[in-house]
Structure 1
Amino acid sequence: MTRYRVMAYVTGVLLVLLTFSMIAKYVLDISGAADFTRVVSILHGWLYIVYLVFAFDLGAKAKWPVRKQLWVLLAGTVPTAAFFVERKISHELAAQLAEPTPVVAKA
């Protein structure tokens, strides 16, 4: 779960930076924003793939339904969504892990 959480935060921060750099480049017409936008977009693209792998791995281990898996995977594409989804998923998984597991007696 730690790998997913780290990548969710990294992806979220990069996406917010990318959003601000796009605004600076196209709306505010700041000259140096073009290079920064290019670097952040490439970095976000590669790290989003790593995020997808870790999120899919976590979903497979947690046996999530397909809808929930897609919801978590797409959270890295909407600015700030990764933060909220990560928090919700972390709380859900922590609650699942805190539940006592029934002990099965061997016959």
Structure 2
Amino acid sequence: MSTQVHPDRQDRIRGPLKFFTVAATVTGVFLIILVCRMILQYIVGVEMPEWATYIAMAHGFAYMVYLLSILVLGPRALWSVGTLFTTALSGVVPFFSFYMEIKRRKEIIAQFQL
């Protein structure tokens, strides 16, 4: 039987977990859009409009926010360096960010009894 997690500790982890969930989802969506754009432009040969360049910049900004969310959540969840690294790496691999976000969220919910 596991011990009960203190309610204050649960409260301190809820906010960063929500921030991480939103950041991972937004990063994953921009990453998929970026990959589709690159396939259309470089493989299919479709000429992309000027605004399509902003997609790459949007993913870069979203990824920085994603890294920030990991740096806020990781120490509070007592993640190891390997866990931090694989979670950070998942923001640059298509569809992996969604998988990793679901996996980490389930781990934290179980660990902190949320």
Q: TM-score range by the shorter chain?
A: 0.7 to 0.9
Whose radius of gyration is greater, 1 or 2? 1
| Alignment match, 2:75 | 60
Matched, 1:7 2:23: yes
Deviations 1:69-92 (A, max 9, x none): 001111101011100000000100
SS in 2 for 1:79: coil
**Residue 38 of structure 1 corresponds to which residue in structure 2?**
53
Distance 2:61 2:51 in 1: 16
State the TM-score, normalizing by the size of structure 2: 0.81
**Count of residues in correspondence between the two structures:** 98
- What's 1:28 paired with? 44
Structure 1: where are the runs of 5+ without partners? 100-107
Q: Distance in 1 between matches of 2:83 and 2:52?
A: 31
Q: Which has the higher contact order (CA 8 A, sep 6+)?
A: 2
2:69 partner amino acid: F
**Structure 1 residues 36, 24: CA separation in 2 closer, same or farther (over 3 Å shift)?**
farther
Hey, which bits of structure 1, 4+ residues long, moved more than 3 A?
A: none
Identity %: 33
Contact 1:9 1:83 in 2 (8 A): yes
Task: Tell me the equivalent position of 1:94.
Answer: 109
CA contact (8 A) 1:22 1:37 kept: no
Aligned-residue RMSD, C-alpha? 1.3
CA distance in 1, matches of 2:56, 2:49: 11
What are the ranges of 5 or more consecutive residues in structure 2 without an aligned counterpart? 1-16
